Structure 1
């Protein structure tokens, strides 16, 4: 069925059908009702590809995330989708699966589809694929990644501060042998969280921090890391673990509970990052560093829409949210050092 068929069935012009589809406020309500009835009766579906060719853009926004299996990125996508829907736009989701090649493939596809703009959480440091989009006239906003030196807008959380919060909390609980379960160092967020943890440990006399680097930010890799720690003699294990995200923390908790006899938090205090729903629902509820995932997604769309409406305008280059410490049972046991005592010990 074509627009012409709808026009004949509704006894109106083709232009009137076009206005009903694109600018219904310009058509009399009775005529809109008649055209919509004809559309329903005929089963008409608009040819959006043809409309895109005429307009030069689609009604879509592209979003590429590092790992759609991570609930944190799923929440970002929900926030972006809800905000985009308010402006009558759809979000096309691409899962890079922590692979730069897949990320680039999605970005190229979105360019071919003439999307209005793209949100992307980069898998690495190479921003050349985003630069190609920008040079083609497609606005790009980086999500969950700061880029103060690049010509991109961005929305992110201060991950250095988040890492500092996590390590400081463990130190305040009296822990001194810390381990950081890291994902790939190529992921900027992992490096930033580690930097923050190192700053906190460096300020505390007698505290140490080892890095257990894993291949991915997943539950399975967290379980492998936990198994490595369980295999050590008790006195050689850390007394606290900071995982780069909650998936790693959940995996480590599984290893502690199922493989060995490590008690959380009595033997090892454990904290994650992101505060996904699984954190609170774990067999030992996990302490975590909370990020406002939905707000990040919706704010990124806000920034993108401003860039679409006024590509050469002076917009905020970056929005930085502050992380929040959420304390649960996985760090609540053991000796507690009051903030005043911790400050005094650190100063000495």
Structure 2
């Protein structure tokens, strides 16, 4: 049945036996309407096949039910999981998301931000790789409420949701040390990426707690944190004199390193240990299930939407907040918790 033309809030109110204001609240602020009353309103909406005029509501309210989500890419499973979590939580509150794939390019970010300002988007959730202050200021200047995701804000300019990546790095290296390693190879991305710098700091913290010098951490920095880059590093490590204990800044690198080591006859875990970061689906797809530091990705997306909606609903009363979630270690075959009898020792 096609939506009935000319039906308005007044007709819905008449059928439901409530005021027009109550119908408006049921549509726009359902949490303040009694459940029984809300049910009557929505029953009338179904009976009349009423379609709310969102465009008119947007003009009255100054914003619409659109939350923008800025991500660098969607091929990476971490970002696709974020998209899914944000979309699901937004839908629970009668909001939709507009996906903006930025490729971490400032020009694309500003283009999207200006477009969202024209559409009166309620808020923007931004997953930045390089979140320098001038770029974020550009986004804030267009007037859209901004929540940083996968990044803890350095100031009080907005809400942010992130992971304690220093703790994550510490968990990974502590596990390798407890499995018999006395030196660790960290395969990392550029330190200009905050997560890479934080995971490096966590690795050093684990070494210090174990009474080991910072020189026990050998760092290899790659430009691209991909499976192919990891495979090249794995071949490099296989050619060395020792059998390594490796902490990778993400799971893609870890999977590649395991492949590169195995190509050159180095068995994981009997001759080398490998720990990844992210606990993505590919952690289970390889020949050796990957020990990895798990991030609460779904919870991150949920918390980011809640921060955005709190700012929308609270207006000038809103106080920005920072949510920092804890990672956890998931132990699998690439770095078992207890060394198996007869296993060759990692590098010392």
Report TM bin, short chain.
Answer: 0.7 to 0.9
The 3-state SS of whatever aligns with 2:171 is helix
The answer on 1:317 being equivalent to 2:321 is yes
Per-residue CA distance 1:273-294 (angstroms, 9 max, x = gap): 1111221332101001111100
Per-residue CA distance 1:141-171 (angstroms, 9 max, x = gap): 1111111434221111100011011111111
Task: State the match for 2:223 in structure 1.
Answer: 215
Q: 1:294 to 1:13 in 2, by over 3 A?
A: closer
CA distance in 2, matches of 1:333, 1:261: 23
The answer on 1:36 being equivalent to 2:55 is no
Task: State the match for 2:103 in structure 1.
Answer: 97
CA distance in 1, matches of 2:60, 2:118: 15
Q: Residue 140 of structure 1 contacts residue 152 of structure 1 at CA under 8 Å; is this kept in 2?
A: yes
- Supply the RMSD in Å over aligned alpha carbons: 3.2
Q: 1:105 to 1:26 in 2, by over 3 A?
A: same
Give the CA deviation at 1:228: 2.8
Task: State the match for 2:167 in structure 1.
Answer: 161
Task: State the match for 1:246 in structure 2.
Answer: 251
The answer on 1:84 being equivalent to 2:83 is no
**Structure 2: tracts of 5 or more residues without a match:** 14-19, 28-37, 341-348
The 3-state SS of whatever aligns with 2:334 is helix
Answer with 300-309 or 87-96: which moved more.
87-96
Q: Residue 103 of structure 1 contacts residue 123 of structure 1 at CA under 8 Å; is this kept in 2?
A: no
The 3-state SS of whatever aligns with 1:310 is helix
CA distance in 2, matches of 1:78, 1:272: 23
Answer with 198-207 or 71-80: which moved more.
198-207
Task: State the match for 1:276 in structure 2.
Answer: 280
The answer on 1:205 being equivalent to 2:212 is yes
Q: Residue 143 of structure 1 contacts residue 296 of structure 1 at CA under 8 Å; is this kept in 2?
A: yes
The 3-state SS of whatever aligns with 2:5 is helix
Q: Residue 106 of structure 2 contacts residue 135 of structure 2 at CA under 8 Å; is this kept in 1?
A: no
Q: 1:96 to 1:249 in 2, by over 3 A?
A: farther
- Structure 1 length as normaliser, TM-score? 0.80
Task: State the match for 2:179 in structure 1.
Answer: 173
Give the CA deviation at 1:309: 0.9
How many residue pairs are counted as aligned between the two chains? 319
Give the CA deviation at 1:295: 0.4
Task: State the match for 1:341 in structure 2.
Answer: none
The answer on 1:298 being equivalent to 2:296 is no
The answer on 1:330 being equivalent to 2:304 is no
Give the CA deviation at 1:71: 1.4
Per-residue CA distance 1:112-143 (angstroms, 9 max, x = gap): 33210011111213133433443443211111
Q: Residue 12 of structure 2 contacts residue 44 of structure 2 at CA under 8 Å; is this kept in 1?
A: no
Q: Residue 157 of structure 2 contacts residue 320 of structure 2 at CA under 8 Å; is this kept in 1?
A: no
The answer on 1:266 being equivalent to 2:270 is yes
CA distance in 1, matches of 2:70, 2:310: 19
Q: Residue 179 of structure 2 contacts residue 339 of structure 2 at CA under 8 Å; is this kept in 1?
A: yes
**Structure 1: tracts of 5 or more residues without a match:** 40-45, 337-348
